[in-house]
């Protein structure tokens, strides 16, 4: 369908639109007009992604003189694929109605591991080996060598891509990673470098959060993006955690040992170069004197992880004199490693601020702050000079340099915590020095500064006023939309008591109570016999899940569950979990039915949808609080209290409830879909906890469902499923329309529209 929002003609690839999608678009359009940032919360299952994509592409189509670029950030690669698939749908529709002028180029960008088509490189297991494998074949010096000596292996795909030079372009269209690989294979061009090259011409770029937030990656990938871009962070409820993770580093004994090995190897290389090709080192020195650092004209393949988010002025400074010479720099690093090793030999937990730490480094190891700040760049330059290709071997020393640069750069918002052992296992000495970031705004600040519009959106952003404080920005639009439902297709329940009427909870003093475990088991057992197709269960942590599964297995509950449905379990091994998920879906597809056990805050909870028959019921066993005894969490809470006046308890509850809401929200995909949600913990019935749930769940949580026991929940589930199985009028009917057609939109002025929303 096609409709007007003020001066923009929006092309929407479906015949109908939900009213909340329409008002979402209106708000988004206002934010774009105002060239400001915005914060939008809309329940899952209301088609956020397609609303976003169709408004922004239509917006840029309607303003051909100043086309805006869309940078769409997803948390995971599979979400990226989903987004691109939706965009493809939209693009086909726009081409059909507008003709060739609607053509856009949209690409997904990922690491070499997901884009490489060279079979020898792909054989490597993890990302870093693939990166290193690629560099071994494509680094500029390797290729120079290959030009002279044909026995040096190179990558055929990259050579072809280089040969094609400016002719190597992607024709307009929407390319998923799969499409990129297929295109690369067909043309014989390297898809990774092709995609990297095309990023600057593409109208839509879809990639992972890290490409913008992680300064190590952002420097290379995102530096060419113009200011007139719209950046979208989808599923952004966890964005503060992503930000602080991006700037946190930890150093362990293994790291220091590895770093020492790396340093020995580097010194060996330096000696070798001195003997054979001393001019190279001298050239590097001269370059550093001139302050060119690395930003100059390095070939694309030699570029790699860039320095952590440094203020611009530092980038323009020259590398300080005392680390310009390779040997001197090496000595500095050796002293630094030595110093850190000394600090790790502690018997008590120590907490320090970066300023104090830098002062102590300077007095004990004689390294000043400025030298620390440049460690990362200097190492990078040195490794290029020494023509080191197996970069995956040098991760440890890179970590040390990351650490040094961060400590040298930031005076506030961080703390250094040294723990001699994990307090859950005090008998195993495992000292760790952690530089943990507390301030999420540090990592995201460059993004807010650089781009004209940043959209942060998710199904759960409640309380919505907290995010601007955490991320330190001022949105021009900040709205939370409710869901207009044709029928009550979600059914949240709070289960406080088990089948024996005793309270259930994962509270610390109750979680190991066999009665609670049994009650949880009975609940699931009853539910599997009533609910068709897929059921998803979320537990508060892996260890709790393992424990409960073992108990259920011993008591035979699991065996009874398996008579109704197959059981799949999320593990910490990603490959295994992926296969388990795939099998889970197949079990639901073929009608066998299955239960999936997963962990809140785990990878599955973050990005996998359990829509339609893949999830008719979610059970959240317990409240997923963070591990509150963690030193890092305590430091962060303290920081939040001091800087933002956010109370510890409030933050913890907010964090736990957004995770819970996130977990249960995965069952709904559209209004034709339906699902039940059971919050199985007595603490959910308390108002202070419950009220932190997003409003779209709260509005369906009836008072009668607030304090249920297993048998009552079972009854409600039966009734609900029976009700949902009836045919219904999709448009909502009567006065409250939940599905709008093109005529509806034309008939209605904006005024009536707004009445409907509220």
- 395 lines the binding site for another protein (CB under 8 A): yes
The minimum distance between CB 575 and another protein, in angstroms, equals: 5
Contacts for 320 with CB less than 8 Å, ≥ 6 apart: 370, 371, 374
Question: Which residues are bridge partners to 619 per DSSP?
Answer: 537, 678
Question: Is residue 401 within 8 Å of 317, Cβ to Cβ?
Answer: no
Q: Residue 174, interface with another protein (CB under 8 A)? A: no
User: Closer CB to another protein, residue 406 or residue 676?
Assistant: 406
Which C-beta is closer to another protein: that of 377 or that of 419?
A: 419
What is the distance between the alpha carbons of residues 114 and 179, in angstroms, rounded to a whole number? 12
Can you tell me the distance from the alpha carbon of 129 to that of 121, in angstroms, rounded to the nearest whole number?
A: 8
Place of tokens 């493809």: 88
Check: CB of residue 436 under 8 Å from CB of residue 248: yes
Q: How far apart are the first and last CA of the chain?
A: 24
Q: 366: which 2 tokens? A: 């004689």
Q: DSSP character for 68?
A: P
Alpha helix (H) residue ranges in 166-324: 177-187, 191-198, 210-213, 215-221, 239-246, 253-276, 278-289, 312-316
Is residue 418 near another protein by the rule CB under 8 A?
Answer: no
Q: Does 178 bind another protein (CB under 8 A)?
A: yes
Q: Tokens 């003189």 label which residue?
A: 65
Query: In Å, how far from its chain's centre is CA 506?
Result: 27
77 or 620: whose CB is closer to another protein? Answer: 77
CB closer to another protein out of 530 and 672: 672
C-beta of 572: minimal distance to another protein in Å? 7
Q: Of 575, 506, 573, 561, nearest to 538 (Cα)?
A: 506
| CB atoms closer than 10 angstroms to residue 131 | 22
Binding to another protein, residues 179-208 (CB under 8 A) = 208
User: According to the binding rule CB under 8 A, does residue 604 interact with another protein?
Assistant: yes
91 scored as a contact of another protein (CB under 8 A): no
The residue (of 30 and 216) whose beta carbon lies closer to another protein is 216
Smallest distance from another protein to CB 300, Å:
19
Q: Judged by CB under 8 A, which stretch of 157-165, 372-380, 631-639, 706-714 contacts another protein? A: 631-639
Q: By the 8 A CB rule, do 43 and 694 touch? A: yes
Judged by beta carbon, residue 529 or residue 670, the one nearer another protein is 670
With contacts defined by CB under 8 A, name the span among 167-175, 210-218, 491-499, 509-517 that binds another protein: 210-218
Tell me the DSSP string of 281-294: HHHHHHHHHTT-TT
List the interface residues with another protein, window 567-596 (CB under 8 A). Answer: 567-572, 574-583, 585-587, 590, 592, 594
Give least dist CB 581 to another protein, A. 5
- Residues 524-553 interacting with another protein (rule: CB under 8 A): 541-543, 546, 549-550, 553
Give CA–CA dist 504/180, Å, rounded: 50
For 204-227, b/e burial (b = at least 16 CB within 10 A) is bbbbbbbbbbbbbbbbebbeebee
Span of 84-92, 165-173, 232-240, 296-304 interacting with another protein by CB under 8 A? 84-92
What sections of 46-165 are H helices per DSSP? 48-62, 77-98, 112-115, 119-122, 127-138, 140-148, 156-164
> Which of residues 273 and 403 has its CB atom nearest to another protein in the complex?
403
CA distance 582 to 587: 9
The single residue among 378, 511, 601, 658 that binds another protein, judged by CB under 8 A, is 601
Q: Which of residues 499-528 bind another protein (CB under 8 A)?
A: none
Binding to another protein in span 16-35, by CB under 8 A: 16-18
**Exposure letters 88-99 (e unless 16+ CB within 10 A, then b):** bbbbebbbeeee
Q: Which of 298, 208, 262, 213 is nearest to 399 (CA)?
A: 262
Residue 19 vs 498, nearer CB to another protein = 19
Subset of 111-140 contacting another protein (CB under 8 A): 111-114, 126-128, 130
Sole binder of another protein in the list 63, 268, 412, 424 (CB under 8 A): 424
Among 30, 35, 187, 252, contact with another protein (rule: CB under 8 A): 252
Residues within window 33-72 making contact with another protein, judged by CB under 8 A: 47, 50
**Smallest gap, in angstroms, from Cβ of residue 540 to another protein?**
10
Exactly one of 20, 27, 214, 234 binds another protein (CB under 8 A); that residue is 214
Q: Which of 627, 688, 691, 746 binds another protein (CB under 8 A)?
A: 627
8 Å CB contact between 527 and 585: no
Size of the site for another protein (CB under 8 A): 108
Q: Which C-beta is closer to another protein: that of 402 or that of 681? A: 402
Interface of this chain with another protein, residues 726 to 745, rule: CB under 8 A: 730, 739
Q: Which helix (H) or strand (E) holds 378?
A: helix 375-385
Q: Which is nearer to another protein, 31 or 623 (CB)?
A: 623
671 binding another protein? (CB under 8 A): yes
Shortest CB 3 distance to another protein, Å: 14
Q: How far is CA 430 from CA 291, 433, 434, in A?
A: 41, 10, 12
């Amino acid at each position: 369908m096609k409709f007007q929002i003020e001066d923009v003609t929006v092309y929407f690839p479906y015949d109908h639109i939900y009213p909340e999608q329409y008002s979402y678009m209106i708000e988004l359009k206002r934010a774009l007009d105002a060239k400001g940032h915005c914060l939008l919360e809309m329940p899952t299952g209301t088609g956020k992604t397609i609303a976003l994509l169709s408004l922004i592409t239509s917006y840029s189509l309607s303003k051909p003189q100043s086309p805006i670029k869309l940078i769409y950030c997803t948390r995971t690669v599979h979400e990226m694929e989903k987004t691109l698939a939706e965009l493809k749908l939209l693009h086909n529709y726009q081409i059909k109605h507008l003709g060739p002028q609607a053509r856009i180029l949209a690409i997904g960008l990922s690491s070499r591991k997901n884009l490489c088509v060279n079979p020898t490189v792909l054989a490597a297991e993890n990302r870093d080996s693939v990166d290193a494998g690629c560099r071994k074949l494509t680094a500029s010096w390797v290729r120079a060598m290959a030009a002279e000596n044909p026995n040096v292996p190179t990558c055929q795909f990259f050579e072809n891509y280089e040969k094609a030079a400016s002719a190597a372009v992607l024709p307009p269209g929407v390319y998923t990673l799969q499409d990129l690989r297929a295109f690369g294979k067909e043309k014989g061009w390297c898809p990774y470098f092709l995609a990297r090259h095309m990023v600057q011409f593409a109208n839509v770029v879809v990639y992972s959060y890290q490409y913008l937030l992680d300064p190590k990656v952002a420097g290379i990938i995102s530096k060419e993006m113009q200011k007139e871009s719209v950046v979208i962070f989808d599923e952004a409820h966890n964005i503060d955690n992503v930000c602080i993770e991006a700037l946190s580093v930890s150093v362990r004994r293994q790291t220091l040992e590895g770093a020492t090995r790396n340093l020995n190897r580097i010194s060996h290389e330096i000696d070798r170069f001195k003997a054979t090709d001393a001019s190279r080192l001298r050239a590097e020195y001269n370059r550093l004197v001139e302050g060119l650092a690395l930003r100059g004209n390095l070939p694309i393949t030699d570029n790699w992880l860039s320095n952590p988010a440094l203020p611009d002025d530092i980038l323009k400074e020259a590398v300080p004199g005392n680390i310009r010479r390779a040997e001197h720099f090496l000595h500095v690093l050796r002293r630094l490693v030595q110093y850190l090793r000394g600090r790790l030999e502690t018997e008590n937990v120590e907490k320090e601020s970066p300023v104090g730490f830098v002062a102590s480094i300077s007095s004990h190891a004689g390294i000043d702050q400025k030298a620390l700040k440049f460690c990362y760049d200097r190492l990078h330059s040195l490794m290029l000079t020494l023509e080191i290709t197996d970069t995956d071997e040098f991760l440890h020393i890179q970590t040390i340099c990351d650490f040094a640069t961060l400590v040298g750069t930031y005076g506030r918002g961080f703390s250094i915590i040294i723990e001699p052992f994990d307090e859950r296992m005090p008998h195993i000495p495992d000292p760790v020095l952690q530089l943990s970031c507390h301030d999420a705004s540090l990592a995201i600040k460059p993004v807010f500064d650089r781009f004209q519009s940043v959209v942060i959106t998710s199904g759960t952003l409640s309380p919505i006023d907290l995010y601007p404080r955490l991320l330190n920005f001022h949105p021009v639009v900040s709205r939370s939309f409710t869901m207009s439902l044709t029928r009550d297709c979600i059914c949240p329940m709070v289960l406080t008591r088990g089948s024996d009427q005793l309270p259930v909870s994962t509270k610390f003093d109750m979680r190991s109570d066999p009665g609670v475990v049994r009650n949880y088991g009975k609940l699931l057992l009853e539910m599997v016999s009533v609910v068709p197709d897929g059921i998803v269960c979320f537990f508060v942590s892996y260890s709790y899940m393992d424990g409960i599964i073992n108990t259920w297995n011993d008591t035979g509950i699991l065996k009874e569950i398996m008579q109704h449905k197959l059981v799949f379990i999320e593990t910490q091994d990603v490959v295994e979990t992926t296969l388990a998920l795939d099998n889970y879906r197949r079990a639901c597809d073929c009608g066998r039915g299955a239960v999936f056990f997963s962990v809140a805050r785990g990878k599955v909870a973050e990005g996998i949808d359990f829509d339609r028959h893949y999830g008719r019921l979610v059970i959240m066993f317990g409240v997923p609080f963070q591990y509150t005894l963690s030193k890092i969490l305590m430091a962060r809470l303290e920081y939040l209290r001091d800087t933002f006046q956010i109370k510890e308890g409030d933050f913890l509850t907010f964090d736990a409830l957004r995770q819970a809401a996130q977990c249960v929200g995965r069952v709904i995909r559209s209004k034709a879909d339906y699902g039940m949600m059971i919050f199985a913990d007595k603490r959910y019935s308390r108002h202070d906890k419950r009220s932190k749930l997003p409003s779209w769940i709260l509005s369906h949580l009836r008072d009668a469902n607030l304090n249920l026991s297993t048998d009552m929940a079972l009854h409600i589930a039966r009734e609900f499923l029976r009700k949902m199985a009836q045919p219904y009028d999709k448009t909502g009917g009567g006065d409250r329309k939940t599905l709008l057609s093109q005529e509806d939109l034309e008939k209605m002025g904006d005024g009536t529209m707004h009445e409907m929303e509220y």
